[in-house]
Structure 1
Amino acid sequence: MISKLCNKIFEEAIKDYHIHNNIDQPIENPYPTTKIEHLLYLKCWIDTVQWHMEDVVRNPEINPVEGLQWKRRIDASNQERTDVVEYIDSYFLEEYKHIQPKANARINSESPAWVVDRLSILALKVYHMKEETVRADATEEHRELCTQKLNILLNQQTDLSTSLDELIQDIENGSKYMKVYKQMKMYNDPNLNPVLYNPNNG
């Protein structure tokens, strides 16, 4: 099942990142570029790096100039994340292009890759919440509260994994069909962001 593969690779990418725990640590993707595993690992690595950039930029003592630099890195990361999601959807489109949808086939509210995106973020939440449940410098009350939150996250992970597998199954049997909308983000596009194409009106 696709969710099992996703969750396995996401755990691997997060674990690999935390060996060095360094935002600027170069990625060493162990999977061939022709495989879906490569995209899944890349996706979660981007999310993991961005998770830690978001931590840094929320420091209330951060220098405003440095904070702006981090914000721009986060914007660039968001664009990269979106691009990889679209690559993953392209993989699914190619994988199931031979499937003839049934006459009553329905479209899903989100594409498979955006469910994968949510699973990747969820894997990060699970990892970091687990850390909080064993934090030596935290109170027992804190650890207990985080354990309760972790159980909710794990339940959510199970439900979302099931939803992804069911969506793929529905696509495979023609009950649902894929229709991918490019995100068309505007804020990084110099032709679409008014502040970029006409700075005097910013």
Structure 2
Amino acid sequence: MFTENANRIFNRSIEEYHRWDDVDHPIDNPYAPGTIDHLLYHKNWIDTVQWHLEDIIRDPAIDPAEALLIKRRIDKSNQDRTDMVEYVDSYLLDKYKDVTPAEGARLNTETPAWAIDRLSILALKIYHMAREAERTDVDDAHRAACRKKLDVLLAQQVDLSQAIEELIEDIEAGRKYMKTYKQMKMYNDPALNPVLYGQKK
């Protein structure tokens, strides 16, 4: 199943990142370029690095200059994340380009890749909540609360995985069709962000 493979790749990416736990450690993608596995690993690596950048920037004692640099990295990471989602959708669009939608075929509320994006983030939540549930420097109440949250996250993973499988099956059968829109992020574009285009030369 697609999501079984995706979750396995996400877990591998997360585990390999945490061997170093360093936001500057270079990615070493083990999958062949041009494959869906390569895209999924790269996508999750971006998500994992950004997760930890978001942690770092929330340090109350962080130097403001360093915080600004990290905020710039997070902005770039958000754009990279969006680009990777579009690459995954492009891969799937090409894969199913010969499928003729049935009469009355419907458009889904989101593309498969944006649902896969949520699955990638969910894998990170599960990893970190599991670590919280195993901490030895906290009391039993903390661990119990985290285990309860972990159970919910695991249930969400099952449900989301099933929903993605059903969406892909519907696309393969022509019951639904894909339509993608380039994400027109405005805050990074100097021609569209008033703060940027309003700056004096």
TM-score range, shorter chain: over 0.9
Deviations 1:99-146 (A, max 9, x none): 000111000000000000000000000000000011010111000000
How far did 1:166 drift? 0.2
Deviations 1:138-192 (A, max 9, x none): 1110000000000000000000000000000000000000000111101111111
Provide the rounded CA distance (Å) in 2 between the counterparts of 1:163 and 1:181.
Answer: 21
Amino acid at match of 1:62: I
What pairs with 1:1-202 in structure 2 (closer than 5 Å)?
Answer: 1-200=1-200
Task: Identify which range, 190-199 or 68-77, moves more after superposition.
Answer: 190-199
Unaligned ranges ≥5, structure 1 = none
Amino acid at match of 1:148: K
Provide the rounded CA distance (Å) in 2 between the counterparts of 1:109 and 1:63.
Answer: 42
SS of residue matched to 1:116: helix
Q: What's the Cα RMSD here? A: 0.6
Amino acid at match of 2:57: V
Amino acid at match of 1:91: Y
How far did 1:194 drift? 1.1
Amino acid at match of 1:183: Q
Unaligned ranges ≥5, structure 2 = none
Q: Please report the TM-score for the alignment, with normalisation by the length of structure 1.
A: 0.98
How far did 1:59 drift? 0.8
**Number of residue-to-residue matches in the alignment:** 200
Provide the rounded CA distance (Å) in 2 between the counterparts of 1:199 and 1:107.
Answer: 41
How far did 1:29 drift? 0.1
Provide the rounded CA distance (Å) in 2 between the counterparts of 1:177 and 1:148.
Answer: 37
Provide the rounded CA distance (Å) in 1 between the counterparts of 2:19 and 2:25.
Answer: 10
Deviations 1:32-83 (A, max 9, x none): 1111000000000000000000000011111222111111100000000000
Amino acid at match of 2:19: I
Amino acid at match of 1:77: S
Amino acid at match of 2:20: H
Provide the rounded CA distance (Å) in 1 between the counterparts of 2:199 and 2:162.
Answer: 47
Amino acid at match of 1:142: H
- Runs (4 or more) in structure 1 with deviation over 2 Å come to none
